[in-house]
A and B are shown apart, each in its own frame.
Chain A
Amino acid sequence: MSEPNPEITDALVAEHGLNAEEYARVLEILGRTPNLVELGIFSVMWSEHCSYKSSKKWLKTLPTDAPQVIQGPGENAGVIDIGDGQAAVFKMESHNHPSFIEPYQGAATGVGGILRDVFTMGARPVANLNALRFGDPGHPKTRHLVSGVVAGIGGYGNCVGVPTVAGEVNFHPAYNGNILVNAMTVGVAEADRIFYAKAHGAGNPVVYVGSKTGRDGIHGATMASASFDEDSAEKRPTVQVGDPFTEKLLIEACLELMATDAVVGIQDMGAAGLTSSSFEMASKGGSGVALNLDHVPVREDGMSAYEIMLSESQERMLMVLKPGREAEAKAIFDKWDLDFAIVGELTDSGRMVIQKGGEQVCDLPIDPLAEAAPEYDRPWESTPAQPDLTADQVPAHDPAQALQTLIACPDLCSRRWVWEQYDHMVGADTVQRPGGDAGMVRVHGTDKALAVTVDCTPRYVLADPVQGGRQAVAEAYRNITATGAQPLAITDNMNFGNPEKPRVMGQFVGACQGMGEACRALGTPVVSGNVSLYNETGETAILPTPAIGGVGLLDDLSKMATVAFKADDEAIVLIGETHGHLGQSLYLRELCGREDGPPPPVDLEAERRNGDFVRELIRGGWVTACHDLSDGGLLVALAEMAMAGDRGAAIQPPEQAAPHAWLFGEDQARYLVTAPQAGDILQAAQAAGVAAYALGRTGGPALKLAGGPSISLQRVRAAHEGWLPSFMSAAG
């Protein structure tokens, strides 16, 4: 069957998401009109999703270097040194648009895609995380989306046997039309056995392994690069369908093959499928490629070259082998009952030449496509500063009532309903399960563990992108620190609206600035990331959401700290300064119905100092429990520690403080710790120049405020555990 060969009209070019300027560049590069296959390839390679054309300029400003970094951004995933010749490999990626259209498959294939990014590099995946944002709980679609996304994440992760150990879930009306599903995978590899997406060596065979290619997901990358409109639901056929069983086989087969030395380079087929995997590998290795599509395993007859090149069928990998190793590699894939096909070879032409049915259907220069993609300096404007908000401008509610409301609100209630649907223990190395500050996974066969977390407070970023960007990085740092682990590096998932709007672009620019400052100050460089723009429906953009995935290392598991109170009558000490900052707090939103004021400022020096101090306390065996303070402030954190340890506390706020601001303000750089006695900790804090305050003692069945109310732990727990299950089981 010969290829469809329509005339390349302006309308067809526009349908492919290329603007006039970009198309002029295509003509200039080729010196002729492209055919349909070539146009399709330009379209996906230059989509926002694949080319980062709006974001690149600002991403480049983020710090990516540190002694522990083995591989920074630009590969399938980032790689950091975790000692003993081992490396942690990780990345986070969005699957927002597909998950809104088809929540189960969208979320499931999001997990599948990020897993492949990690095992492609030779790492065995050891932990999954996710950051989810949904619309208003009252919105008619929200329940359906939560249910489908959670089931999809579980359906995929549970089957492949990678524990899902941490995550975050938020609700806000700004996500009504654009939910966010960000999935992160962390893997462990031998540091000297990392595999890269570089294809070199003319004559080396190019091999396709995994599932067969079908018509699913064609133009998924282009869809991910446009705003939603009324017809988005009709895009359902561009959502891929996942098969976690095949993925599990693919993990085992690839790792088995990688244990030999037969692989030159390897890359998963993610967004833009065979097109981007072959172009990226060839470009990074400075090679040319000759592909014969007749050898690509296909699911159905009559697929055109256009469809094969742009399909986003899941669970597929492309690799370049050393010559003569084909039979050995094929035997491994045969053992796992996976397709294995030699689909081409490397050349030294610097061009991608594709044959199908005896015809040449594509001849493109590789570098101009992969590396010389357009890059824009989009106009941007900074977000105006919010006027200050002092405690006396905010009504003081009864603290007991306020806690009861906050602890049950959609953004603070227990996520048990979610994580009990995820297998968070498979692998028998999960040493901290979901519900604490960070998930922790023991490095198999050792006494060390990785602490992993995902964090972002989008309402802070909206109010002040720079402070919000700082805060997201700082919170990830604190969550890792609170386990005793040393934060090592981050991955970012930048979810924003339409970058062609200067206000939105300004949010992106500001967030990058804040993140960069925090990464430098806290010693956690960015080693991988993903950008998802155009998260808008009509004129409504999402809250700017730069989700941060953090990874830290605890080199001695016996020192690990958890949030739970451990014993009665222990001292509770608050580390860090409390000013009672209520701007953008959950107290303000949930109790007063307001979302205003500036977000809490992030003093990066204090973050570093307090974090170092807390880690020292934990490692020295001084504290029995530790929890970072974030959403909801001090009383919420205290309640979380009490619920986890099933014992209450009696606390004494300072007399001069306004109780509502002191108890619910969201000042940064703070932790709560417990210890048999406060004295040594207060003394050490003073010596280290760290603010510390003896808050009270553990014990009893309630949270008691000196001179104030006593709040039954049982009631707090009922409110905390109750909201999500009752929301999800409600009719409608």
Chain B
Amino acid sequence: MQAAVIVFPGSNCDRDIAVALERASGQRPHMVWHKDSTVPEVDLIALPGGFSYGDYLRCGAIAAHSPVMRDVKARAQKGTAVLGICNGFQVLIESGLLPGGLLRNESLKYICKDVGLEVETHDSIFTRRYRNGQRVVFPIAHGDGNYFIDEDGRRRLEDEERIAFRYCDAMGQVTPEANPNGSVANIAGIYNRERNVLGMMPHPERLADPLLGGRDGAAMFDGLVEALA
């Protein structure tokens, strides 16, 4: 699997996702500068976490208008796999590739901690190595991860099985107490209709190495390699 990682000014998880992808695929991803107008031919495009453009204006809003994003959108529409993590999720929403919005955390504080996630469906190139309903642990690290979508939108996501992950407690229950940021229906990650674009607030790349405290995230990258090899 050949991947490309888009580097925006202020990206700070670009190296982390590149390490996790290389660990799974054995191939070093292309690091693509946001001012480039095209992305090389690749199987997966990753939009990393960080603070693109310092989160000025609105998280992800300025990055969504970077020169490179025109090609990212075109590729996504043609079916290339696109994974946006944290700030990358915010960029995907601001680009119109995914619906809804990401608001300030309900606590108004930045939160960095491990959270439980329920895998809603293994029917995607990203989650094929997980089981439906499996509880996994990924860290979150964000100040604006409070996913919002209106009632109709939420129903559509649910009907089309486009919710990738929901925040859950230690027993795997999706409860209000397990919701770290106030997201609608505990939503932590969603797909586009074609299921080739995934945006999520938690960081699978931060727990893909046992020395860091766990490797639940590794299955996502292994699954991608399997699907896109």
Residue ranges of A at the interface with B (Cβ–Cβ < 8 Å): 151, 154-155, 158-161, 243-246, 248-249, 335-337, 419-431, 433, 442, 557
Q: Which of A245, A336, A337 contacts B51 (CB 8 A)?
A: A245
Contact A425 B212, beta carbon cutoff 8 Å:
yes
Task: List residues of chain A with CB within 8 A of the CB of B10.
Answer: 159, 245, 248-249
A–B complex contacts, Cβ < 8 Å, 5 sampled: A151-B109, A159-B12, A159-B51, A245-B54, A249-B10
Contact B51 A428, beta carbon cutoff 8 Å:
no
Question: Provided the pairs A151-B109, A425-B212, A428-B16 are in contact, do residues A249 and B141 lie with their beta carbons within 8 angstroms?
Answer: no
Q: In the complex, given contacts A337-B9, A421-B111, what are 12 additional A-B residue pairs having Cβ atoms less than 8 angstroms apart?
A: A151-B109, A158-B110, A158-B112, A245-B10, A245-B53, A422-B110, A424-B112, A427-B15, A428-B19, A428-B209, A429-B212, A431-B212
A301 to B56 Cα, complex, angstroms: 25
Residue of A nearest to B33 (CB): A335
A68 to B49 Cα, complex, angstroms: 36
Q: Which of B56, B141, B143 contacts A425 (CB 8 A)?
A: B141
The smallest beta-carbon distance between B114 and chain A, in angstroms, is 9
A151 to B20 Cα, complex, angstroms: 30
Residue B92 lies at the interface, judged by CB distance under 8 Å to chain A: no
Contact B211 A431, beta carbon cutoff 8 Å:
yes
A554 to B116 Cα, complex, angstroms: 31
A646 to B20 Cα, complex, angstroms: 30
Residue of B nearest to A432 (CB): B213
Name the residue among B10, B33, B205 with the largest chain A CB count within 10 angstroms: B10
Number of A-B contacts (CB under 8 A): 84
Q: Which of A337, A421, A427, A428 contacts B109 (CB 8 A)?
A: A421
Residue of B nearest to A245 (CB): B54
The smallest beta-carbon distance between A534 and chain B, in angstroms, is 33
Residue of B nearest to A442 (CB): B211
Question: Provided the pairs A336-B9, A337-B9, A428-B205 are in contact, do residues A421 and B112 lie with their beta carbons within 8 angstroms?
Answer: yes
Task: List residues of chain A with CB within 8 A of the CB of B109.
Answer: 151, 421
Contact A158 B20, beta carbon cutoff 8 Å:
no
A436 to B130 Cα, complex, angstroms: 32
The smallest beta-carbon distance between B185 and chain A, in angstroms, is 23
Task: List residues of chain B with CB within 8 A of the CB of A159.
Answer: 10, 12, 51, 54-55
- Interface membership of chain B positions 52-96, coded 1 if the CB is closer than 8 angstroms to chain A and 0 otherwise: 011110000000000000000000000000000000000000000
Contact A426 B54, beta carbon cutoff 8 Å:
no
B contact residues, range: 20 to 34
Task: List residues of chain A with CB within 8 A of the CB of B49.
Answer: 426
A247 to B16 Cα, complex, angstroms: 20
Task: List residues of chain B with CB within 8 A of the CB of A155.
Answer: 110
The smallest beta-carbon distance between A439 and chain B, in angstroms, is 13
Question: Provided the pairs A154-B110, A431-B212, A442-B211 are in contact, do residues A425 and B55 lie with their beta carbons within 8 angstroms?
Answer: no
The smallest beta-carbon distance between A625 and chain B, in angstroms, is 16
Question: Provided the pairs A427-B16, A428-B209 are in contact, do residues A245 and B56 lie with their beta carbons within 8 angstroms?
Answer: yes
Q: Which of B33, B141, B213 contacts A423 (CB 8 A)?
A: B141
Task: List residues of chain A with CB within 8 A of the CB of B33.
Answer: 335
- Interface membership of chain B positions 104-148, coded 1 if the CB is closer than 8 angstroms to chain A and 0 otherwise: 000001111100000000000000000000000001010100000
A426 to B50 Cα, complex, angstroms: 9
Question: Provided the pairs A425-B112, A428-B205, A557-B211 are in contact, do residues A244 and B9 lie with their beta carbons within 8 angstroms?
Answer: no
The smallest beta-carbon distance between A152 and chain B, in angstroms, is 11
Contact B50 A161, beta carbon cutoff 8 Å:
yes
Task: List residues of chain A with CB within 8 A of the CB of B209.
Answer: 428
Q: Which of B13, B112, B212 contacts A422 (CB 8 A)?
A: B112
Contact B141 A426, beta carbon cutoff 8 Å:
yes
Residue B206 lies at the interface, judged by CB distance under 8 Å to chain A: yes
Task: List residues of chain B with CB within 8 A of the CB of A424.
Answer: 112
Task: List residues of chain A with CB within 8 A of the CB of B51.
Answer: 158-159, 161, 244-245, 248
Contact B12 A160, beta carbon cutoff 8 Å:
yes
Task: List residues of chain B with CB within 8 A of the CB of A151.
Answer: 109-110
Task: List residues of chain A with CB within 8 A of the CB of B16.
Answer: 426-428
A335 to B9 Cα, complex, angstroms: 10
The smallest beta-carbon distance between B51 and chain A, in angstroms, is 4
- Interface membership of chain B positions 4-46, coded 1 if the CB is closer than 8 angstroms to chain A and 0 otherwise: 0000011011011001100000000000010100000000000
The smallest beta-carbon distance between B61 and chain A, in angstroms, is 14
Residue of A nearest to B213 (CB): A433
Contact B13 A426, beta carbon cutoff 8 Å:
yes
The smallest beta-carbon distance between A242 and chain B, in angstroms, is 11
Contact A428 B20, beta carbon cutoff 8 Å:
yes
A423 to B53 Cα, complex, angstroms: 18
What 6 pairs between A and B have smallest CB-CB spacing?
Answer: A161-B12, A245-B54, A428-B16, A159-B51, A423-B141, A423-B112
A419 to B55 Cα, complex, angstroms: 21
A655 to B195 Cα, complex, angstroms: 68
The smallest beta-carbon distance between A505 and chain B, in angstroms, is 41
Task: List residues of chain A with CB within 8 A of the CB of B111.
Answer: 420-421
Name the residue among B9, B55, B213 with the largest chain A CB count within 10 angstroms: B9
Contact A428 B212, beta carbon cutoff 8 Å:
yes
A245 to B139 Cα, complex, angstroms: 23
Name the residue among B35, B53, B206 with the largest chain A CB count within 10 angstroms: B206
A426 to B209 Cα, complex, angstroms: 14
A165 to B212 Cα, complex, angstroms: 13
Residue of B nearest to A155 (CB): B110
Question: Provided the pairs A161-B50, A428-B16, A428-B209 are in contact, do residues A423 and B110 lie with their beta carbons within 8 angstroms?
Answer: yes
Question: Provided the pairs A245-B53, A245-B56 are in contact, do residues A161 and B113 lie with their beta carbons within 8 angstroms?
Answer: no
Residue of A nearest to B113 (CB): A420
The smallest beta-carbon distance between B11 and chain A, in angstroms, is 8
A154 to B108 Cα, complex, angstroms: 13
Task: List residues of chain B with CB within 8 A of the CB of A161.
Answer: 12-13, 50-51
Which residues of B199-213 are within 8 A (CB) of A?
203, 205-206, 209, 211-213
Task: List residues of chain B with CB within 8 A of the CB of A426.
Answer: 12-13, 16, 49, 141
Task: List residues of chain A with CB within 8 A of the CB of B35.
Answer: 335
A423 to B143 Cα, complex, angstroms: 10
A159 to B87 Cα, complex, angstroms: 11
A159 to B51 Cα, complex, angstroms: 6
Residue of A nearest to B143 (CB): A158
Residue of A nearest to B112 (CB): A423
Name the residue among B33, B54, B111 with the largest chain A CB count within 10 angstroms: B54
A442 to B50 Cα, complex, angstroms: 20
Name the residue among A159, A421, A426, A427 with the largest chain B CB count within 10 angstroms: A426
Residue of B nearest to A246 (CB): B54
Which residues of B174-229 are within 8 A (CB) of A?
203, 205-206, 209, 211-213
The smallest beta-carbon distance between A157 and chain B, in angstroms, is 10
A154 to B212 Cα, complex, angstroms: 21
A226 to B139 Cα, complex, angstroms: 44
Contact B112 A428, beta carbon cutoff 8 Å:
no
The smallest beta-carbon distance between B67 and chain A, in angstroms, is 13
Contact B12 A248, beta carbon cutoff 8 Å:
yes
A453 to B110 Cα, complex, angstroms: 23
A190 to B212 Cα, complex, angstroms: 24
The smallest beta-carbon distance between A727 and chain B, in angstroms, is 15
Task: List residues of chain B with CB within 8 A of the CB of A243.
Answer: 54
Task: List residues of chain A with CB within 8 A of the CB of B141.
Answer: 158, 423, 425-426
The smallest beta-carbon distance between B3 and chain A, in angstroms, is 16
Task: List residues of chain A with CB within 8 A of the CB of B211.
Answer: 431, 442, 557
Task: List residues of chain A with CB within 8 A of the CB of B139.
Answer: 425
A284 to B49 Cα, complex, angstroms: 41
Task: List residues of chain A with CB within 8 A of the CB of B203.
Answer: 425
Task: List residues of chain B with CB within 8 A of the CB of A245.
Answer: 9-10, 51, 53-56
Contact B56 A428, beta carbon cutoff 8 Å:
no
Question: Provided the pairs A160-B12, A420-B111, A421-B109 are in contact, do residues A430 and B54 lie with their beta carbons within 8 angstroms?
Answer: no
Task: List residues of chain A with CB within 8 A of the CB of B15.
Answer: 427-428
Residue of A nearest to B209 (CB): A428
A428 to B50 Cα, complex, angstroms: 13
Name the residue among B110, B143, B205, B212 with the largest chain A CB count within 10 angstroms: B110
A367 to B45 Cα, complex, angstroms: 55
The smallest beta-carbon distance between A564 and chain B, in angstroms, is 11
